[in-house]
Structure 1
C-alpha cells in the first residue's frame, strides 16, 4: 500500500511539473511573440539598403561606376536620322553647329552601347561642356578653333581625322559623311591604348527623390524651333512613365538600332549668347556663364537661371540649385536672340 501511495505521489508530482513546464513554455512563447512582431515591424519601417547611384542619372546601379565618361559628337543632319545610341545617353546637349543645323554632344557613362553615331565634328563650346565632365571626346575633326584647342591643351579625344581612326568605322548603309560610327568595344580599346582610363574626375550632380512633387505650371507639350523648316524639336509628357518623348519635325525621334523612341526625365532649355563667325555659319556660343531658361519635369515647367558652375550647366531658382529627377536629361541650348519667348512654346496639352 505504501508503494502504491508513493507511486501515486510521484505520478501527481510529474503531472504538476509537466503542467507547470507547459505554462512556463506558454508564458515564454507569449513573451517572445511581441519581440518577433516588433522586429518584423521594424524591418518593414526601415528603408531597404540603397546601392550605389549612377553619377549622371541618379539611378541605382549594381556596382559603382568607375569608368570614365565618354562624350560623342553625333550628327543631326536629316540624312543622319535616325541615329544610333542616343537612347542610352545619360545626358545629351543639343546646340547649333553651323547654319540652322544642330548637333549633339551625347555623354555616356551608365551604359555605353555597341553602336553610336553617325559621328561628326567638334566645336569649342562642345569641348567646354565635355571638359566639365572630364569626358573623353570622340569626334571627326572639328572647326579650326576646336582642333587647335584639342592639340594645344592635349585634351583627351579620339579624332577620326588625326590620332583615333582605329576607334571608328564606316557603315555602307549611308553615304559619307553621315556614316561614321563607333561603339563600346572600340572606345574602351582607345582609352586603354592612350591611357585615358586613368586620372579623371566625375562631377557631382544634384538629384531629388522620385516621390518629390514638381513645382511649376503644366506643360505636357514643349516645342523648340531652331529652324522653321528642318529643326523643330518637341517633347510630349507621358504620365505613366513620368518622362518626355522626343519629336523632330512632328515625328517621334527613335533609335536606329532598337526602334525605341527617345525619352527624357528632365528637359532643360536655356538661352545663351550666339555669334556667327564665318560664312559656313560656325558660331561662338557662351556656355560658360549664366542666363535664363526653363526646366521641364513631370509635365510641368518653371523658369530658372542657369549657371555654368563646377564645369556643369545647372538650374537655379532663387539662388538654390534645383535637383533633377533620377533618369536621363536633355539640354537644348538656343540663341538668346530671339530668345526663349520667341523660340519655345510650353503648352498644357499637345495641340
Structure 2
C-alpha cells in the first residue's frame, strides 16, 4: 500500500510538470484574430489641373509691332543708320528694333535702317552715314533721323524738308560716343535716351503721326507655300539666310553664313515677318552711290510662320506694305519685321 501511494504521488508530480512545460503561445496562436475593417472613400478624388496662364488684354498696342502695352505709344520713333560691313559686326541693338530695313548702299555693301519705339536699347551701332532713299524711309515714318555724315543730296533733302536729324559729323556729337575696342569709323554708338534728350534740347516736335500698320489675329495663317529656309543673295559677302523655328514661330537670321547675334547679349536676331521687295536700283557716280526706289509698286514676297506668298508691295501711309492678288493688304504678325529691298531679278531662294 505504501508503494502504491508513492506511485500515485509521483504520477501527480509528472502531470503537473508536463502541464507547466506546455508552449504558452500555442493557445495564443489558436485565438481568432478579429479582421480589420478598411474603409475606402467611394467619393472620386479631384486632381487639380494646373492653371492656364491668363490671357492679358492690354488697352493699347505698339504701332510697329502690334504687341500689347499698358500705355499708348505716342513718342516719335528713332531711326538709326547702322553699319553692316564685316568690321562693324556684330552690331549692337538691332535685336531690339521694331522694324529693320536692309538696303544696298554704295559699293556692294548693305546698310540697316533700324527703327525703335517699343524698346530702348542702351547701345545702338555702329552708326554710319545716310543716303536719299534712307531719308525717304525716315520721313515716311515721321522719325527722328540718326546718322553720321551724309551724301550732298541727302543733306539737301533733310535741310529742305526740315526733317529732325542728329548728325554726329556736323554738330551733334554730344549725342554719341566712340568705343575704344574698335577702330574708327566702325566704333560710333548712340542710344534712344540720348536721342530723345537731344530732341528736347533741339525743340523737335514730340507728338507723332502714327503709320497705322495692320496686324493679323493670332489664329491667322498665311495662305502660301512652305518656307522653312530663306536665302537673300545680296552682293559679295552680304548673303542673308533665315531658318524657321517652328516651336517659337520665328525666323532666326544668319549673316554671311554665321548666326547674326547682338554684340552685348549674344542673342540671335529673329524676325516674325520677312518682307522682300524687288525694286529698281541705279548707280549714280563712280563712287557707287545709288538711287533706290522705295515707293514702288513692285513684286516680292512676304514670309510668316513657315509660309511664303508672292505679293505686290507699295509705299503707302509712310511704310512699305504687302498686298495680295486682290490688292488686299496682308496683315503682319505681331512682333519684329525685317524689310529687305533687293534689286529686281535677285535670286531669292525659298524652300
Measure, in 1, the Cα distance between the counterparts of 2:146 and 2:110: 17
Q: Is the 8 A contact 1:128 1:288 kept in 2?
A: no
Q: Is the 8 A contact 2:133 2:294 kept in 1?
A: yes
Measure, in 1, the Cα distance between the counterparts of 2:128 and 2:255: 19
Alignment of 1:293 with 2:300, yes or no, is yes
The answer for the alignment partner of 2:111 in structure 1 is 103
Equivalent residue pairs, number: 298
TM-score by length of structure 1 reads 0.82
The answer for the alignment partner of 1:273 in structure 2 is 280
User: Which has the larger displacement, 97-106 or 161-170?
Assistant: 161-170
User: Which of 216, 221, 243 is the aligned partner of 2:250?
Assistant: 243
Matches within 5 A, 1:50-199: 50-199=58-207
User: Which of 237, 241, 247 is the aligned partner of 1:230?
Assistant: 237
Matches within 5 A, 1:334-349: 334-336=342-344, 339-340=345-346, 343-347=347-351
1:255, distance to aligned residue in structure 2 (A): 0.2
1:48, distance to aligned residue in structure 2 (A): 6.2
The answer for the alignment partner of 1:39 in structure 2 is none
The answer for the alignment partner of 1:32 in structure 2 is none
TM-score by length of structure 2 reads 0.82
User: CA offsets per residue over residues 288-310 of structure 1, 9 Å max, x none?
Assistant: 22100100000110000001111
Could you say if the C-alpha distance between residues 151 and 304 of structure 1 is closer, same or farther in structure 2, counting changes exceeding 3 Å?
A: same
1:61, distance to aligned residue in structure 2 (A): 1.3
The gaps in structure 2 that reach 5 residues or longer are 1-51
Q: Is the 8 A contact 2:223 2:307 kept in 1?
A: yes
What SS does the aligned partner of 1:84 have? coil
Measure, in 2, the Cα distance between the counterparts of 1:49 and 1:263: 25
Measure, in 2, the Cα distance between the counterparts of 1:48 and 1:199: 28
* Higher Cα Rg, which structure: 2
Measure, in 1, the Cα distance between the counterparts of 2:328 and 2:290: 31
More helix by share: 1
User: Which has the larger displacement, 199-208 or 250-259?
Assistant: 199-208
Please tell me the root mean square deviation across aligned C-alpha atoms, in Å. 1.5
